[in-house]
Amino acid sequence: MYNMNTTFLIGVDPGAAGAVAILEPSGKLVQVFDTPAVEVNVGGRAKRRVCAEMLAAELRLYASGAQAVVEQVGAMPGQGVSSMFAFGQAFGLALGVLAGLGVATVTVTPAAWKRDLRLNAGKDAARLRAAQLWPAQAAEFRRVRDDGRAEAALLAHWLRGRARA
């Protein structure tokens, strides 16, 4: 639950293909952006990985007095060991960056926040709901690959709703 002095609510959908959203306590969507990632060489192959320094630089402006929620993800069926490790690493980096910036952070499972928002598991449902909640920024959620942006925004919205519960 956030307190009355919270300046921003930050939602993080972790992963190199994830996103971050910033809400004001009023619910206004301030910014949504794809997680900063860089290409690194892993076993002779180029892989995208979250860049902690770039993420910290993006969040620094919003950190003072902010509270955040990071989606607590687990292994998915059919996901390889290397992919699972990279995803866990991205989750840990998000938590570490937020902690380093002094942002109070909670985690929530996808099942819990989606249940609370009465959202089904589909990615299109998240994009549709985000576009409904923030029609002025609906273009941020229009592409199929913008599901991370939609989920990050909805995570911040979920955090906002916890204060009213």
Per-residue pLDDT tens over the stretch 122-131: 779 999 999 9
What one-character-per-residue DSSP string does 12-80 give? EE-STT-EEEEE-TTS-EEEEEEPPEEEEEETTEEEEEE-HHHHHHHHHHHHTT-EEEEE-----TT--
pLDDT for 87 equals 72
Phi, psi of 121, rounded to the nearest 5 degrees: -75, -15
Per-residue pLDDT tens over the stretch 44-75: 888 888 899 999 999 999 999 999 999 997 65
Is residue 21 within 8 A of residue 146, CB to CB? The reply is: no
Q: What is the mean pLDDT of residues 134-147?
A: 95
pLDDT for 15 equals 81
- Distance separating alpha carbons of residues 127 and 93, to the nearest angstrom: 25
Alpha-carbon Rg for the chain in angstroms = 15
- Asked whether the predicted pLDDT for residue 2 surpasses 60, the reply is no
CA quadruple 124, 130, 131, 133: dihedral, nearest 10:
140
Residue 1 lies in a domain: no
pLDDT for 4 equals 62
Per-residue pLDDT tens over the stretch 67-82: 999 999 765 566 666 6
pLDDT for 78 equals 67
Residue 15 lies in a domain: yes
Residue 110 lies in a domain: yes
pLDDT tier, 5 (very low <50, low <70, confident <90, very high otherwise) = confident
Residue 3 lies in a domain: no
Structural domain count, the chain: 1
Residue 98 lies in a domain: yes
Q: Which CATH number is 40's domain given? A: 3.30.420.10
- Distance separating alpha carbons of residues 106 and 87, to the nearest angstrom: 18
pTM: 0.90
Per-residue pLDDT tens over the stretch 87-111: 778 889 999 999 999 999 999 999 9
- Distance separating alpha carbons of residues 44 and 41, to the nearest angstrom: 6
| Domain that includes residue 100, residue range | 9-162
